[in-house]
Amino acid sequence: MYVSSLPPQQAAVFAQLAAGASELAAQKPDIQDFVFVPGHAHPTWDDGQSVLWRAIEQMMLASPAGDDELPVIWVGYDVATRFTNKREAQGFLVTDRRLIVKDDVDLVFSKGEARQYPFAAGVADAADAARAIASQGIDGYDWNGAGSLVDEEDVEWFRELLVAAITMTLEAGTNADTPLVAALTTASDIRGRVKELGLSPAVKYADDKTHAKHFAKFAKKMPLDAGEEILACFSASTLAGPYGLVLTDRRLRSRDLGEAPVTTPRSVIEPAAVRVNPANGSQILVAPGDAHDVPSHLSAREVSALVTLIQEWAGGRVG
């Protein structure tokens, strides 16, 4: 059992957080079917703990943030995949170090990826930080996958509970004699950050042999400078040729169908200026006069995550 392997101090913190989460859950009876707390019986489902720990294994333990990360509360549900009938956890898992969000499932040729929103140690206002983190998770969630399970009122209950649980967790870390966790940093390499942002299903890498023909065609439409290296590519292709957006070690490059390529040097992009075009959700503005189109099949959440990636790449935090 995972809990029994924890050091005594972490086990005590785990019990404290779980007790607090259980009290918060009891204040939201309208969504009790979706709320699971480790070590506390579920009010509706007899198998609630086994369902919860399956979710923890899939969402947290598959890629843990440290050997002794603590699950606090899961607000979600599980679904059966179409091809294998395997149960897969969806929703929001709060740990002592991050909010983990998963809203897609494994398919035949792709794996459903979880996204994470790390907690910073020693925040000045835990409630404000919690609201910002919860909003990122809730607003970027693909609610279409929840079908008729979750309605608009439920979503707002989810939000309120997540804010309360994250606030409690952050405050517990601030008030502890020993911080629960040092500031958790996100990946500094482009591929690790792509995975954390939930962009793995949308990305192509130049060293992936399955995309060799795609990149060969792309090179003819949008040639690189000598020695320029592709870091990540978000693209598609039609009979008219490939199109999309490419991050290299030097430039942001893009091409829309039937249009000339657009190129912006990495050195001139101000991270704070990078944003989705309010008039076109499939276009990212990076500098005065420079608008880069992204494939229209990318969801609003993926475009938003791509903005974050470009901001961090432009600022030199990832590369």
The backbone region for 316, taken as left when phi is positive above 0, alpha when psi lies in -120 to 50, beta otherwise, is left
- Crossing angle for the helix pair 126-139 and 152-175, to the nearest 10 degrees: 140
Token digits for 243?
A: 């199109």
Q: Report phi then psi at 202, rounded to 5.
A: -100, -10
The verdict on residue 17 lying in a domain is yes
Q: Count structural domains, the chain.
A: 2
Domain encompassing residue 121: 3-175
Q: 145 and 228 in one domain?
A: no
pLDDT of the residue at 84? 65
pLDDT of the residue at 178? 45
The verdict on residue 77 lying in a domain is yes
Sheet holding 241-248, edge to edge: 230-238, 241-248, 251-255, 262-265
Asked if residues 313 and 266 have their Cβ atoms less than 8 Å apart, the reply is yes
Place 41 in a pLDDT band, splitting at 50, 70 and 90: very high
CA distance 226 to 279: 35
Asked if residues 201 and 113 have their Cβ atoms less than 8 Å apart, the reply is yes
pLDDT of the residue at 111? 61
Is pTM beyond 0.75? Reply is: no
Q: 227 and 115 in one domain?
A: no
Q: What is the CATH number of the domain that holds 287?
A: 2.30.29
Q: 217 and 166 in one domain?
A: no
pLDDT in tens, 74-109: 999 998 876 667 889 999 999 999 999 998 876 544
Minimum mean pLDDT among 48-52, 108-112, 280-284, 315-319: which range?
Answer: 108-112
- Residue 191 contacts by C-beta under 8 Å, 6 or more apart in sequence? 205, 232
Token digits for 14?
A: 């785990």
- Average pLDDT of the chain is 89
Q: 237 and 291 in one domain?
A: yes
Mean predicted confidence (pLDDT) in 238-245: 90
| Strand ranges (E), 129-279 | 230-238, 241-248, 251-255, 262-265, 275-277
The verdict on residue 180 lying in a domain is no
Whether residue 16 is predicted with pLDDT greater than 90 in this model: the reply is yes
Minimum mean pLDDT among 39-53, 122-136, 243-257: which range?
Answer: 122-136
pLDDT of the residue at 119? 87
- The residue count of the chain comes to 319
CA distance 93 to 213: 40
Task: Choose one of 110, 140, 175: the last residue of a domain.
Answer: 175
The verdict on residue 233 lying in a domain is yes
**Running DSSP on this structure, what letter comes out for residue 60?**
I
CA distance 56 to 89: 8
pLDDT of the residue at 112? 66
Token digits for 219?
A: 């090179």
Higher-confidence position of 108 and 242:
242
Minimum mean pLDDT among 8-12, 226-230, 307-311: which range?
Answer: 8-12
Asked if residues 159 and 153 have their Cβ atoms less than 8 Å apart, the reply is no
Among all chains, which residue has been given the structure tokens 């598609």?
A: 236
Higher-confidence position of 251 and 147:
251
The verdict on residue 283 lying in a domain is yes
CA distance 131 to 300: 20
Q: 138 and 224 in one domain?
A: no
pLDDT in tens, 285-299: 998 889 999 999 998
The verdict on residue 184 lying in a domain is no
The verdict on residue 183 lying in a domain is no
Cα–Cα nearest to 299, from 147, 151, 103: 103
Place 1 in a pLDDT band, splitting at 50, 70 and 90: low
pLDDT of the residue at 104? 82
Task: Choose one of 175, 204, 239: the last residue of a domain.
Answer: 175
Mean predicted confidence (pLDDT) in 112-130: 84
Whether residue 276 is predicted with pLDDT greater than 60 in this model: the reply is yes
Whether residue 182 is predicted with pLDDT greater than 50 in this model: the reply is no
The verdict on residue 60 lying in a domain is yes
